[in-house]
Amino acid sequence: MLKVSIMEDAMAATVSPDSRTPVPGLPLPDLYARVSRHVPAIEWAALAPDIEAILRLKRERNAVILAHNYQAPEIFHTVADIVGDSLALAREAVNVDADVIVLAGVHFMAETAKLLNPGKTVLIPDMGAGCSLADSITAADVRGLRAKYPGVPIVTYVNTSAAVKAESDLCCTSGNAVAVVRSLNAPRVLMIPDEFLAQNVQAELPEIEILTWAGHCEVHERFTPGDIRDVRESYPGVTVIAHPECPPDVVAESDFSGSTAMMMDFVLQKRPRQVVLVTECSMADNIAAANPDIEFIKPCNMCPHMKRMSLANIRRALETMTHEVTVDPGLADRARAAVERMLLVR
């Protein structure tokens, strides 16, 4: 299986032998070995037919599965061809050769893949997989900001609709937000819609005035500095890593903050004995599956949108070739330009 996330090489190199030992007597024993710490054997027997069907359908349809780091281990470690954060998935979408892309993630990620590789059929297994950030702002809101702040560049988080991207100057992800804002060489920048991401970038770029929008991630806004202090008290010496969608006072209490791929890289390189990933729960599960020597401590929160993906609906998507993600041709070129400008920033 081709795995091309930033962390995958490191992950493959650090796989402990006991986590990859095939389990005899079960279907697909090599694949089960990858997830045996998270999926009970009895559950695997029920999942294996869907995995077998997906592997066959990918060949028949000439399809690849792009999966976000928040996908459950039974998706991330078995049927995904490409895994990563939003930035890695966008970069990899450009290079997909296959006819069909199945996006195991949320709708804005599928839309971004379609924008960047418009000749491909892009499927999402559940059209309801949204995002509270994407829902927090409309294209009309962005036009309003443009009128209110003439001349101020607008940097839009990729967690938005194509219509919102189309009204923006360029996009960013949590993996490149600081570099993107800095690349503008502007004294004032509008950063929308994630207020906390914008405030966290502001802390790193005090020389730039960053104007924000009041959108929040429903998963990360729930973490508090008290959560971090409690975990530090219970586990002295624990390493704390927070996603930059968390409130700034949570990021300030952490040892490191970065995109999901950056969090994964940090853990795989530093190999802390105990770590808390202040983010979606599957992140820890996906690293733990291949790294049993690292102990992952709670808290974590589930993203209900990411969790709409399942092996059953990925199988159905490939069987029925639904649900196809398209972008209004009237705005696709402008939205694509905003994403492509971001990909030029290194």
Q: Which residues bind ligand 13P (CB under 6 A)?
A: 69, 85-87, 159, 173-175, 217, 243, 245, 259-260
CA–CA distance, 73 with 84 (Å, rounded to integer) = 13
Given the complex with ligand 13P, which of 231 and 342 has the nearer CB atom?
342
The secondary structure element, H or E, covering residue 172 is strand 170-172
90 binds ligand SF4, rule: CB under 6 A: no
Candidates 57, 131, 164, 309; binder of ligand SF4 (CB under 6 A) is: 131
Q: Closest distance between ligand 13P and the C-beta of residue 257, in Å? A: 10
Using CB under 6 A, which of the segments 48-56, 206-214, 234-242, 299-307 binds ligand SF4? Answer: 299-307
> Considering CB under 6 A, how many residues would be counted as binding ligand SF4?
13
Q: Closest distance between ligand SF4 and the C-beta of residue 132, in Å? A: 5
Given the complex with ligand 13P, which of 202 and 279 has the nearer CB atom?
279
- Chosen from ligand 13P, ligand SF4, none, partner binding at 132 (C-beta under 5 to 8 Å by type): ligand SF4
CA–CA distance, 281 with 288 (Å, rounded to integer) = 11
Given the complex with ligand SF4, which of 73 and 215 has the nearer CB atom?
215
The contact mask relative to ligand SF4 for 208-247 (x = CB under 6 A, - = no) is ---------xxx-------------------------x--
Q: Are 193 and 215 within 8 A, CB to CB?
A: yes
Given the complex with ligand 13P, which of 112 and 239 has the nearer CB atom?
112
Please say whether the dihedral angle defined by the alpha carbons of residues 337, 280, 282 and 276, taken in this order, is positive or negative. Answer: positive
- In terms of DSSP H, where are the helices of the chain? 8-14, 29-35, 41-61, 73-76, 86-95, 107-116, 139-148, 162-166, 177-183, 195-204, 225-234, 248-252, 260-270, 281-288, 311-320, 329-344
10 Å CB burial of residue 206 (0-12, 13-18, 19+) is exposed
Given the complex with ligand 13P, which of 53 and 89 has the nearer CB atom?
89
Q: Closest distance between ligand SF4 and the C-beta of residue 135, in Å? A: 9
Three-state DSSP class for residue 273: coil
The DSSP line for 277-341 is EESBHHHHHHHHTT-TTSEEESP-B--TTGGG--HHHHHHHHHHT-PBP---HHHHHHHHHHHHH
Q: Closest distance between ligand 13P and the C-beta of residue 88, in Å? A: 8
- Return residues touching ligand SF4 (CB under 6 A): 106, 131-133, 159, 217-219, 245, 280, 303, 305-306
